[in-house]
Amino acid sequence: MAEAFETERLIIRRWTGNNLEDFHEYCKNPNVGPNAGWKPHETMEESRKILRSFISSSEEYAIVLKKSGKAIGSLGLKSDHIPHCGFGKGRELGFVLSQNYWGRGLMPEAVLGAIRFAFDKINLDYLSAAHFPFNLRSRRVLEKCGFRYEKTLKDSYTNYKGEKLDEICYIMTREDYFHSVQL
């Protein structure tokens, strides 16, 4: 899944070492990582180590502004850790956006691009996604993009502080995409 894809304002592509400063810039923000369950990065070296793992992964993408070439977030299409019955081949969608770009419609744009990529290019049967109960921004993005609530997993995620968190799970099937989502 190493392909890149584009939307009106964004390029979603593989990470490179040249993205380190942009990556560290949003990963050190205390308002970003905790919404996704990870601790804010404390040092550039910590960001470098995590970025290396993203570069070696075929499941992690940089969200890049077309105009400037700046990496402003990440999008993952990972092996699904949430149990689903009878949906076939799928991936779990995850996303993070620099706080400097919140409220501009960029994340729904990236997610809609990922949905098209998932169903049209890599022929998935479903996409799932999850957020924590306090992460209302992610909830709005998922609902705006046509995902439907599936279930709540109680105390299913342990964050970087060792706290147990519920995961609110959403799904979009291939049928949902082709029959009810107008992209």
Model pLDDT for residues 121-143, shown as the tens digit of each residue: 999 999 999 999 999 999 999 99
For residue 169, the one-letter residue type is C
* Phi and psi angles of residue 160, each rounded to the nearest 5 degrees, phi first: -65, -15
Q: Round to whole Å and give the CA distance between 91 and 153.
A: 18
- For the chain, what is the domain count? 1
CA–CA distance, 110 with 92 (Å, rounded to integer): 15
Q: Which two tokens stand for residue 137?
A: 């921004």
Instruction: Tally Cβ neighbours within 10 Å of residue 140.
Output: 13
CATH number of residue 106's parent domain: 3.40.630.30
- pLDDT computed for residue 119 by the predictor: 94
Q: pTM for the full model?
A: 0.92
Residues of the chain with pLDDT under 70: 1-2, 83-85, 180-183
Residue 159, domain extent: 5-179
Angle of helix 136-144 relative to helix 106-116, nearest 10 degrees, comes to: 50
Give burial (CB, 10 Å; 0-12/13-18/19+) of 21: exposed
What's residue 154's pLDDT?
A: 96
Rounded CA-CA distance 54/61 in Å is 8
